[in-house]
Structure 1
Amino acid sequence: MRIAVVADIHGNLAALEAVIADLAGMSPDLVVNLGDCVSGPLEPGRTADLLMSLDWPTVMGNHDRALIDRPRHEMGDWDQPAFDEMTPSQLDWVRGLPATRVIEGVLLCHGTPSSDSRYLLEQVVAGHMVLRDPADIAADLDGVAAEVVLCAHSHMPRHVLLTDGRLVVNPGSVGAQAYRDDTPSDHVMQNGSPHARYAILDRKGAVWTVAQRFVAYDWNAAADRVLAKGHPEWENALRFGRMGRADASDKA
């Protein structure tokens, strides 16, 4: 059994297309999507159309939810640009996404099984995300019987083996390799390169292995696109996988 896992596409159609091309050489039995599909200033509508046509099993992320659970004036600066380009049928597709799914004994969620806006594998310390204690991760998975848990939200590729044998995997982000956020407190995430990220999970018998894939695409064109659309805060995240200038210290 081979499962490909994508997440946090954030409307980056070029990055998604590069991942799809890379998947052709991986021959997965199943591709799953952990949400945050379109929010951002890139190409939300075309990304939604492609995902709808692919019909991958998908769960709702916090930014997906933000497109449908509040009026536009209460949306954040990632969500408003996407909402403005979404059609009613695309929003209906988002509205129909479940919060969690279980497929082949694998649990899919965006943040934690009970919250799409909390980090499962990380906590914020001094403005940056660090790995949580395994006991705290396990506490958020209390009552979850799945042997593998797939999560996203932090955009950080990571896999953690808990003491009870459960495997927790974050595939990283297809479309956004750096960001700043103020929830639960001010912090920065930056992966340090602009590559699109996803994961491949293989099961042989009862044993799972994980491969994190970093895929090149035309990130300079993506950065130029957000500049042309009036969103310079996205440029360095797309071009360098960092916040702020690539040659400057971060001030998160």
Structure 2
Amino acid sequence: MRVAVISDVHANVLALEAVLADIARHDVEKILNLGDHFAGPLWPRKTAAVMAELDMIAIRGNTDRYLAVGDADLLDEDDLKIIDAIEGEPMDWLKQLPETAIYADAIFMSHGAPRSDETYWLDRKVKKHGFRVSSLEEVEAELPHGDYPVYCCGHTHIARVVTLDDGRIVFNPGSVGRPSFNMNDPVSAARLSPAAAYAIVELSAGKWHVNLRQVAYDNMAASAMARAWGNETWARDLAEGRTR
């Protein structure tokens, strides 16, 4: 079994197309999508059109929920433009997405932690200090009922693989559309990268392996689009990699 896991596309169709081209070279049987599809000052409608053609299993992210519910307290001016852009079939699709899913009775999919799409699983927010890496105990405390060999999550945009003491794996593939810190090893400090991130998960010789991947794309064009929307924060993040 070999699957690709993507997350946090955030309307970045250029990054999504680059990732899909890379996925096509790896003979995967399915794409698993962990949510946050269209919320971003980029190309929501074009992203929706590309996603509509994919053979994938998708779940809902926290920004998907904000857009689908349409709660004014959760939305800003960019969000209202995005809602207008995806009105119709894309919004209908967004509204029917499940909170979690299980693939092949082996891979548990959630956006944040299994019980909340807003809970950071493999990292913890620390007041005044950004984020820190979650302890094994904190990771295990969020595990859902049931016993699966692999769990995947998004939300933080931070690519990381954690192997629990019993051999189970919890990982975050990072963000396709707004990359953040990428952990290249479990000890060193993170390195910023503007490249699109995703993961390939494979069962080989009875063992599960997670390959975190980065794919270069025209991130400066994405940065320019964010600037055209008037969003300098996104423009900077897309040009340099997202700081936390």
TM-score higher than 0.5 here? yes
C-alpha distance in 2 between matches for 1:84 and 1:73: 17
The answer (yes or no) to whether the contact 1:177–1:191 under 8 Å persists in 2 is no
Which portions of structure 1, spanning 4 or more consecutive aligned residues, are displaced by more than 2 angstroms?
70-74, 76-81
The answer (yes or no) to whether the contact 1:200–1:212 under 8 Å persists in 2 is yes
The residue number in structure 2 matching 1:111 is 112
- Alpha-carbon distance change, 111 to 215 in structure 1, aligned in 2, over 3 angstroms: same
C-alpha distance in 2 between matches for 1:76 and 1:130: 28
Deviation of 1:147 after TM superposition, in Å, equals 1.2
Deviation of 1:166 after TM superposition, in Å, equals 1.1
Deviation of 1:164 after TM superposition, in Å, equals 2.1
TM-score, structure 2 length as denominator?
A: 0.90
Structure 1 unaligned runs (5+)?
180-189, 244-251
The residue number in structure 2 matching 1:240 is 240
Deviation of 1:194 after TM superposition, in Å, equals 0.6
Question: Secondary structure of the residue that 2:213 maps to in structure 1?
Answer: strand
Number of residue-to-residue matches in the alignment: 234
The residue number in structure 2 matching 1:246 is none
The residue number in structure 2 matching 1:201 is 201
Question: Secondary structure of the residue that 1:94 maps to in structure 2?
Answer: helix
The answer (yes or no) to whether the contact 1:156–1:191 under 8 Å persists in 2 is no
Of 163, 169, 172, which aligns to 2:171? 169
The residue number in structure 2 matching 1:10 is 10
C-alpha distance in 2 between matches for 1:64 and 1:138: 26
The one-letter code matched in structure 1 to 2:240 is F
C-alpha distance in 1 between matches for 2:77 and 2:172: 25
The one-letter code matched in structure 1 to 2:33 is N
Deviation of 1:169 after TM superposition, in Å, equals 1.1
C-alpha distance in 2 between matches for 1:154 and 1:191: 15
Once the two structures are superposed, residues 162-211 of structure 1 have per-residue CA deviations (whole angstroms, 9 ceiling, x without a partner) of: 112210010000000249xxxxxxxxxx8611100000111014301111
- Alpha-carbon distance change, 27 to 151 in structure 1, aligned in 2, over 3 angstroms: same
The answer (yes or no) to whether the contact 1:72–1:83 under 8 Å persists in 2 is no
The one-letter code matched in structure 2 to 1:60 is R
The answer (yes or no) to whether the contact 2:115–2:144 under 8 Å persists in 1 is no
The residue number in structure 1 matching 2:162 is 160
The answer (yes or no) to whether the contact 1:191–1:242 under 8 Å persists in 2 is no
Alignment of 1:15-164 (within 5 A): 15-72=15-72, 74-76=74-76, 79-104=79-104, 105-125=106-126, 126-164=128-166
TM-score, structure 1 length as denominator?
A: 0.87
C-alpha distance in 1 between matches for 2:56 and 2:132: 30
Sequence identity, in percent? 37
C-alpha distance in 1 between matches for 2:96 and 2:27: 28
The residue number in structure 2 matching 1:223 is 223
The one-letter code matched in structure 1 to 2:155 is H
C-alpha distance in 1 between matches for 2:11 and 2:220: 16
Structure 2 unaligned runs (5+)?
182-189
C-alpha distance in 2 between matches for 1:153 and 1:191: 18
Structural RMSD (CA):
1.8
